[in-house]
Structure 1
């Protein structure tokens, strides 16, 4: 999309007098980097001996937009037939099906309208809001940060994401932790040990004690230690088993991967960015190994479910997971997949979940170790849905020692089910063990402990081996990682308090599976966010914080998911033919004009100064660097 100065030279200089910029007709141009390739494609599309064009761009909104722009700029004659190929994988079979079933491109007119509107929306908001906020606050920001100039870059989705990160950082800063001390009893039954946590129940010596944290900890260590010593003085002794309740917990396999879930898991397991994950997924797709990666769905379509045996048959030749695929084929568990929660046509818009095709296996030896690991993750998640649930036995115990009550939860795996194929059990066992050692989780029970508890009756005597004092503390909200940020964008509707609006945008989120990683990358490149490459934790920069403050002073709705997600919902409605392109555009123009006018008519640089002063304590290294620059005479 052409910059404003292409429309008129007077837009070259940024000025409040030329805002808002709302062209009637939007102009486009071919960028120099692709000019040569564009000319090749243009010659092919406009050849006189070509009467039919098959459109094979990515099957989605952005793919539709790319072809329509090329067609528009190439001046393809209207009389040529254009057919849209819509495929979910690049296997030969799927491509042949897509070509055979290709529809006239007019069937995708609404999708194209939504694509053009999305681009115009981002363009108008970006151009107008960035210019007006830069003109109002850029000089002040440059002065604060000792820079020659500062551009305030604003985007419909980008600024909302930046606001989410800054908001989380402020929550962490105002958080005040509480340290507390808990008492755990060590108990033994038939030679099997487990721990139980003390609580100040009715009848306890500490019932109503003001120095308690909730009812299971002490605010002062000396109080906790005195209590522990009193308990220890009563040893040796036994506790009475007051409660021994058994429940069965059934854990079904998780839904299949969509792009957001894959990006989150890869950030957690491999510490890579969403952008890196998308590149690997795209590579696997182009090598025919997996289906279309830019999908929001986590289920299969009924049509795919009918043919799923083909995917499974191919996977039998993959060393890491072949045995599981063969087992599924042998026991026939795949035959009922269409009737499970893993198949649902209503949950699918453009594409079904990201799954292995079972083809393209000749490319496996040439994959990098990371790409091979991610392919295996996708394959294991896929195979897991054909396995039965994992079944746990959960025991809830209550023990009485003197006047004091202790509570324990013991969780034992009875049937491994899908956990044996997922590859997650080992990691989960490790995490649970670490939490157990910190007194934060249930006991992970062995078969011997489960047997001992099964035989224990209410009122049984349980040997007490000792008491531990453990320190704990309340935790602040967690910072976003690159992966959890992608999920937060996908589920941004959950952050909206208004129930009616939340229900309206359910499933929309902010951004799309195709754009979220790029938006995050842009915020990092603009130095509004800092991304730790080792941990993938995201934090705001001082510049990022101040830009959020500037936006908050002039157009606060831009920081809220409600606005961004409602526009995304509007695009979906255009795509589905529920509202017209003209209606959407009229609302967009009105919004941009009003918000630009409001921002142009105010200036609150003094408030921005207050925000800058308040933020300095969190960026001491940056502040010291500016002092050094001033000492050297003010040169950058």
Structure 2
């Protein structure tokens, strides 16, 4: 099966009684006629021959100890709680003594950390205590946690500092503090997972041929769940968790031998189409900020809240995704048309953050660091003043696209190509409410500046 003219063969091994789905080795074709011709050959042949079978043991390793950015990303992904709310609740749990200090970049425990002192009380937890007991004597399946490579030399990774009893859970439920339960459970289960052995499986790939076309199926046979017992959906036959933070797709395959022949139970050719990339989630955005070294673990969530909540450049939609508003798109388009892409791309901010870090490390003097940041920003501001018509035009184009706007041709004032606010028919000097504020819902008004039109002849915003 596959999009864009893909195909596949569903197969059942009568001896094993287990189903396996094989994917077309070509993946997809964009020539429908050719795809249907090849599919005809497969339909005529019907019989599949196993050409190759190979497997190997593979391991899925536990997560490294928890720092702030990983906590925000993982909880946001699994529980749909915003990064800002994650930090708010985590600080409440810290102040109540349930978890360690939640603002840390460190993801490695020191060699002398008292693991037994933390794991011991968790053996009495009413849900995941079974795993804490497995890490303790006599089972002793403890493994020293991995090293994530980050240390802020101030705070250890985040871990549970005391057992939350059933009475604590009842109090949280009674007070409507369900996020306390979700985040405490995550911190405790993550800590236990880091102290656990890796999951082990046998990964198998089977290649078959039908009518001259190759197909392939890949699957795993899980041998030992280990850390996934507490970090996934729970052990088979044991406690099951409402929230899973990790997993290993249990796409098991029957046993095949090279040269074996069988008849697939289903053959299919499915039309499809290319798809645009998904909107970024808060987790995606946090990761991109981390990749560009923008902000710190304590401020990255605040940046997102400012962009979404305060300034209305984006709104949350669907499955916790971020969609740019008309205003957000207009600012990006306007900066791009003015040649000021650095005002919305992450590059300039990343350079500034890097210089701040170099100053802190003594690798760059403060005056040079200031100059590296202020000089290009002042240059950009002067360009913006000179070309303000282009920004006004872009905002007009995106915020109220159905009006008749004047196209701004190239000119000395920087009013370059685009669609702009003008004084022609259908456009008033004071435009009034043009959209609802993404943050509070109040009307956003576009008004003429009290000082009159600037050098670019555009309106100002308030």
TM bucket by the smaller chain?
0.7 to 0.9
| 1:518–1:187 distance in 2 versus 1, CA, 3 Å | same
Residues 1:289 and 1:229: Cα distance change in structure 2 (over 3 Å): same
Aligned equivalents of 1:616 and 1:242: distance in 2? 61
Using the alignment, how far apart are the partners of 1:428 and 1:364 within structure 2?
19
Q: Do the aligned partners of 1:392 and 1:413 also contact (CA within 8 Å) in 2?
A: yes
Is 1:513 the counterpart of 2:297? The answer is: yes
Q: Give yes or no for contact 2:209–2:215 (8 Å, CA) kept in 1.
A: yes
Q: 1:538 to 1:630 in 2, by over 3 A?
A: same
Rate the CA distance shift 1:635–1:485 in 2: closer, same or farther, 3 A. Answer: closer
1:478 is paired with a residue whose SS is coil
Q: Identify the match of residue 576 of structure 1 among 361, 368, 392.
A: 361
CA distance in 1, matches of 2:402, 2:8: 37
**Superposition map of 1:464-479 within 5 A:** 464-479=264-279
Matched with 1:556 is 341
Q: 1:635 to 1:343 in 2, by over 3 A?
A: closer
The count of residues paired between Structure 1 and Structure 2 equals 393
Match of 1:280 among 86, 89, 100: 89
What per-residue deviation string (whole Å, max 9, x for no partner) do you get for residues 84-126 of structure 1? xxxxxxxxxxxxxxxxxxxxxxxxxxxxxxxxxxxxxxxxxxx
Q: Is it true that 1:263 corresponds to 2:56 in the alignment?
A: no
Of 346, 349, 352, the residue aligned with 2:156 is 352
- Encode CA deviations 1:258-307: one digit per residue, 9 max, x unaligned: 2222222222222222111111111111111111112223222334x3x1
Aligned to 2:458: none
CA distance in 1 between counterparts of 2:123 and 2:210 reads 56
Match status 1:254 vs 2:79: no
Equivalent residues of 1:271, 1:536 under 8 A apart? yes
Identify the match of residue 186 of structure 2 among 327, 352, 377. 377
Q: Secondary structure at the match of 1:538?
A: strand
- Does the alignment pair 1:194 with 2:1? no
Distance 1:359 1:421, change over 3 A: closer
- Conserved in 1, the CA contact under 8 Å of 2:315 and 2:322? yes
Alignment check: 8 A CA contact 1:314 1:357 kept: no
Partner Cα distance (1:432, 1:617) in 2: 48
SS of 2:264's equivalent in the other structure is strand
Which TM-score applies when normalising by structure 2?
0.74
Partner secondary structure for residue 275 of structure 2: coil
Call closer, same or farther: CA 1:461–1:389 in 2, change over 3 Å. same
Answer yes or no: is the 8 Å Cα contact 2:327–2:395 preserved in 1.
no
Structure 1 stretches lacking a partner, 5+ long: 1-177, 200-214, 434-442, 493-508, 620-628
Taking the TM superposition and a 5 Å limit, the aligned residue runs for 1:189-588 are: 189-190=14-15, 191-199=17-25, 215-219=26-30, 224-225=35-36, 227-235=38-46, 238-303=47-112, 305=113, 307-330=114-137, 331-334=139-142, 337=144, 341-342=146-147, 347-358=151-162, 363-367=168-172, 368-424=177-233, 444-445=251-252, 449=254, 452-453=255-256, 456=257, 458-492=258-292, 509-532=293-316, 535-552=319-336, 553=338, 555-588=340-373
> Structure 1 197/381 Cα, relative in aligned 2: closer, same or farther at 3 Å?
same
The CA distance in 2 between the partners of 1:530 and 1:432, in whole Å, is: 34
Instruction: Report the alpha carbon displacement of residue 480 of structure 1 after superposing the two structures with TM.
Output: 0.9
The corresponding residue for 2:411 is none
Q: Distance in 1 between matches of 2:346 and 2:394?
A: 26
Residues 574 and 196 of structure 1: CA distance in aligned 2, closer, same or farther (over 3 Å): same
Aligned residue number for residue 33 of structure 1: none
The C-alpha deviation readout for 1:542-564, integer Å capped at 9, x for no partner, is 11122233444264333332321
User: SS of the residue aligned with 1:244?
Assistant: strand
CA change 1:181–1:592 in 2 (3 A) is closer
Q: Could you tell me whether the CA contact under 8 Å between 2:8 and 2:21 is conserved in 1?
A: no
Extract unaligned runs of 5+ from structure 2.
235-240, 404-425, 434-462
- For 2:444, the equivalent position in structure 1 comes to none
State the alpha-carbon separation in 1 of the partners of residues 266 and 374 from structure 2: 72
Q: Tell me how far 1:231 sits from its aligned partner.
A: 3.0
Change (3 A) 1:405 1:556: closer
Q: Tell me the distance in 2 between the aligned counterparts of 1:432 and 1:385.
A: 16
Paired residue secondary structure (2:262): strand
Report the Cα offset of residue 592 of structure 1. Answer: 4.7
Q: How much has 1:376 moved relative to structure 2?
A: 0.7
Q: Give the direction of change, closer, same or farther, for the CA distance of 1:533–1:242 in structure 2 (3 Å limit).
A: closer
The one-character-per-residue Cα deviations of 1:125-150 (angstroms, maximum 9, x if unpaired) are: xxxxxxxxxxxxxxxxxxxxxxxxxx
Residue 597 of structure 1 and its aligned partner are, at CA, apart by: 4.0
Answer yes or no: is the 8 Å Cα contact 1:253–1:418 preserved in 2. Answer: yes
Tell me whether 261-270 or 552-561 shows the greater mean CA deviation.
552-561
CA distance in 1, matches of 2:121, 2:153: 27
Structure with the larger RCO, 1 or 2 (CA within 8 Å, 6+ apart) = 1
Name the TM-score, length of structure 1 as normaliser.
Answer: 0.55
Partner of 1:10: none
List per-residue Cα deviations over 1:167-200 (Å, max 9, x = no partner).
Answer: xxxxxxxxxxx8333232424251333121233x
